[in-house]
Structure 1
């Protein structure tokens, strides 16, 4: 979203966190972003959710990035030391220009953000949290899921995905529901095939 390395030191690695329910389109959006990112810009992806194997394979193949699976529990639930070790290992092995964390659908953003901020003195900084909203199903999630409400509240940008598959009236209802939870955060429509402006995210 923006660079704040001057505040954290020249070697600080920015961390971008994607939240959103399983099937919201996080992996597709990340894949599209990275396909349009310079190969010289070294990005490492920490996945906390098993998605479609073919898509995840394409993610690594087409964007020339390293994909690391974190399989033992949600990032919001794991020990702080476990996440710290994962980030430190990626920084040591790959010297990334940026780390992207794709969380599980059930992950709470706040504990993840807190853990990353705890590592600011160790060469990391939280650049942004982005929540991907599935516009087809959000009202059902929002009505029944505390996690969906928290994800919509604790975020820097809300990415409205799959909006083209519903009517403008239905989209207005989704946005109204989101605004009831979070009025001030920018809400951006995702383009075809998960297209989002890289300048907006990075």
Structure 2
């Protein structure tokens, strides 16, 4: 933020700073860094998160700044615990209750994420929640640090890989390639003290909500948009696809012995004991989550099934005569991954030919109950 304000190149910039602490350290740093010019404006938003509790306040402040005029850009520095998608969504719809239509007043130009290169792997593997770090929105905020880290990386247009001066060249390049695998569309810029040419982050017109929502590396891999592997650094990805259900007990044991070389995994799985409901697996670092992803189309009523297939004919390409769209499609991204070993151990979790003829609902199922995200 200080770098932007000291290198404005004649631009008039308003800043909205969101910090979760009672004392807004971030804005103090900005002010001490020379943020006293009369043509600029600083808005502090405290004791809340602009992606949730302060969302209405954010809309009001943006509208106020735009209506006041005499600015070229608004730079929003959200808290490190903010999820980027709800912040971006704030600018894509009309809030009828507040009577504010930001779509008529401004656009989201660029989503920038700053990655601390010196602490990335420490944070990634910490296993800590926001409560552990006393950074949660309240006592019920059990989100894990690594999940926020991945959310912010996968939704960015520009990733500033900062503090590279504290890394050797090989480590910096390996981390850059890892970030590239996690978000193939992002521009990744190595920086020291977050110094970057403003033309790389302002007035880029890089942001597109639909594209950003589909930009994660795991999603591209799932859609068969394979990114050439950076073998020099051992970073690779693959999709595990099998049209046979997983045995719940064996799959549970596999999850409990997660391969350490997998950095990121996400996708859908077919559990024999829950034949009608698709499962969603999401892993980053030590965080592994499973939840329900809705019913398989094959489990719909005949009328609804035919209507869905007519509306989404691409489903027929993978349709199985017996089991319909049920299948396992899991994307794995990792460093020096033992792909054959991962596939072999997962194959051992699939039902055997004999088990395929059994009553699947009778199988012991130790996995947590599915919750379906809204």
Q: TM-score, normalised by structure 1?
A: 0.75
Distance, in Å, in 1 between the alignment partners of 2:106 and 2:89 is 12
Distance 1:115 1:35 in 2: 28
Do the aligned residues in 2 keep the contact of 1:76 with 1:109 (CA within 8 Å)?
A: yes
Deviations 1:94-128 (A, max 9, x none): 54211000010001110000111224433111001
Which of 44, 51, 56 is 2:14 aligned to? Answer: 44
1:140 matched residue in structure 2 = 122
Structure 2: give runs of 5+ residues left out of the alignment. 94-100, 128-145, 203-374
Structure 2 residue 30 is the aligned partner of structure 1 residue 56: yes
1:42-191 to 2 correspondence within 5 Å?
Answer: 42-49=12-19, 50-52=24-26, 55-57=29-31, 58-61=33-36, 65-78=40-53, 80-118=55-93, 119-143=101-125, 144=127, 145-190=146-191
Which residues of structure 1 form unaligned runs of 5+? Answer: 1-29
Q: What corresponds to 2:345 in structure 1?
A: none
Higher relative contact order (CA 8 A, sep 6+): 1
Which is further off, 106-115 or 77-86?
77-86
Q: Is the 8 A contact 2:117 2:163 kept in 1?
A: yes
Task: Look up the match of 1:33.
Answer: 4
Secondary structure of the residue aligned to 2:90 is: helix
| Cα distance per residue 1:36-60 (max 9 Å; x no partner) | 2234x22100000233565221241
Shift of 1:162: 0.3
TM superposition shift of 1:83: 1.9
Instruction: Give distance in 1, aligned partners of 2:178 and 2:156.
Output: 15
Q: Deviations over 1:126-159 (max 9, x none)?
A: 0010000100011222334100001000010101
CA contact (8 A) 1:31 1:63 kept: no
Distance 1:53 1:111 in 2: 22
Distance 1:117 1:53 in 2: 27
Aligned 8 A contact 2:63 2:102 in 1: no
- 8 Å contact 2:91–2:107 — kept in the other structure? yes
Length-normalised TM-score, structure 2: 0.42
Distance 1:120 1:62, change over 3 A: closer
RMSD in angstroms over aligned alpha carbons? 2.2
Structure number with bigger Rg: 2
Q: What is residue 3 of structure 1 aligned with on the other side?
A: none
Q: 1:163, 1:94 → 2: CA distance? A: 38
Partner of 1:8: none
Match of residue 11 from structure 1 = none
